[in-house]
Homo-oligomer: A and B are copies of this chain.
Amino acid sequence: MEQKNTIYDIAKALNITAATVSRALNNNPKISENTRKLVLETAAKMNYKQNKLAKSLRNGKSFNVGVIVPRIDSNFFASVIRGVEDELHPEGYHVIICQTHEDEKREIDNITTLLNAQVDGILMSISKMSEENEPIIKRVVKNNVPFIFFDRKKSIDGVSSVTIDDFEGGYLATKNLIEQGCTKIAHLCGDQSLEIYQNRLKGYKQALLDNGLKYNQDYVIQTKSNLDAGKNAVVQLLALNEVPDAIFSSSDFAALGAIQELKERGVKIPDEFCVFGFGNEPFTRYLELSISSVDQSPLEMGKMAAKVFMEQINNTDNIKIEKKVVLKPELQIRQSSTRSN
């Protein structure tokens, strides 16, 4: 049988560590171009086969990190991923992405897929609250694979998270509408099985309370994050006896749908009706009537989640670290909530 050379043989031949060989073969940017060339040449000379790399990495690191998001076609999640990459790429890590389409079964599939792909850690924003994904997440954590939630999380022992203060975001957006003179503020509140939407609703309620406005249950409509949901909500709200004069929407997409429907019905924005979104999707500023929105610092969120991962992967003391990072939201006040006087 042919004698097969390993990365350890290459390391020995070059008098460098096996880790350096592994990183060089893996195109880790921390390795100088000279070393990389030398390793590749030596590997070729020694007839080293690349498919052995995976095997050698089994016991070490793959330098791959998995990110799981509900959907990639949202500027928010795409920007978080960009932040993760910006932080991890200089450390020699590659990011691989999976999307769940809000389907919990796919979420579990994705975790399995990434583990099979030998990732060193998983950063995830959950699809919806449920009990089904807890066992697999707990198993990941038990196996000392760093697992970090960002934005949408659930509370699981040992799992770190990076979120924004959704309560504060809901509070500030509602307060802005009150300052514009709105007194009958409706809220499109999103799927209440997710903590982020629960907290935005709580912030909305608290802002009403702190400003002497009464909470009206008819003004709170649970909506999906799309245009039609916003349009339908407006139809419902305008049919009320006491028609609202503003909407705080937990979704920019629903906010846009609401604005389109209001315009269709001849309601003047912002003079007769103000609208505030959430998420700061790029289209909110492209529109002729630009939409006020809550910015969630996605780039910073991604970088922070990556930093938490790095802390955990570099933690050789076998101490369990659980870290909760909460970022501050920032209002982007635009035309849809800015009255002239």
Decide if A39 is an interface residue (CB 8 Å cutoff): no
Residue of B94, B98, B110, B112 touching A113 (CB-CB under 8 A): B94
Contact of A116 among B54, B73, B289 (CB under 8 A): B54
CA distance A58 to B55 in the complex (A): 9
Assess whether A117 is in contact with B118, with CB atoms less than 8 Å apart. Answer: yes
Contact of A286 among B53, B54, B75, B256 (CB under 8 A): B256
Q: Is the CB–CB distance between A288 and B286 below 8 Å?
A: no
Interface check A282, CB cutoff 8 A: yes
Q: Which of A276-332 contact B (CB under 8 A)?
A: 282-283, 286-289
- In chain B, what residue has the closest Cβ to A260? B286
- What 0/1 readout, one digit per residue, does chain A (122-149) give for beta carbons within 8 Å of chain B? 0000000000000000000000000000
Are A27 and B109 in touch, CB under 8 angstroms? yes
Closest B residue to A67 by beta carbon equals: B97
Set of chain B residues within 8 Å of A99, measured between Cβ atoms: 81, 85, 97
Q: How large is the interface on A (under 10, 10 to 19, 20 to 34, 35 or more residues)?
A: 35 or more
Residues from chain B with Cβ under 8 Å of A58 in the complex: 54-55
The residues of B that contact A18 with a CB separation of less than 8 Å are: none
Asked if B113 and A97 sit within 8 Å, CB to CB, the answer is: no
Kindly state whether residue A64 has any CB partner on chain B within 8 Å. yes
Nearest Cβ on chain B to A291's Cβ, whole angstroms = 10
Residue A186 lies at the interface, judged by CB distance under 8 Å to chain B: no
Task: Name the B residues within 8 Å of A53 (CB-CB).
Answer: 116
In whole Å, how far is A281's beta carbon from the nearest beta carbon of chain B?
Answer: 9
Q: Taking the complex as formed, is A79 at the interface, i.e. its CB lies under 8 A from any CB of chain B?
A: yes
Cα–Cα, bound, A71→B51 (Å): 28
Are A64 and B113 closer than 8 Å at their CB atoms? yes
Chain A 10-58 residues near chain B, CB threshold 8 A: 26-27, 50-51, 53-55, 57-58
Closest to A289 in B: B288
Nearest-Cβ distance from residue A130 to partner chain B, whole angstroms: 16
Asked if B115 and A117 sit within 8 Å, CB to CB, the answer is no
Q: Is A62 an interface residue (CB 8 A)?
A: yes
**Interface residue? A178 (CB, 8 A):** no
Q: Answer yes or no: A162 CB below 8 A from chain B CBs.
A: no
By the criterion CB–CB under 8 Å, are A114 and B96 in contact?
yes
Interface residues of A (CB under 8 A from B): 26-27, 50-51, 53-55, 57-58, 62, 64, 66, 71-73, 75, 78-79, 81-82, 85, 89, 94-99, 101, 105-106, 108-110, 112-119, 256, 282-283, 286-289
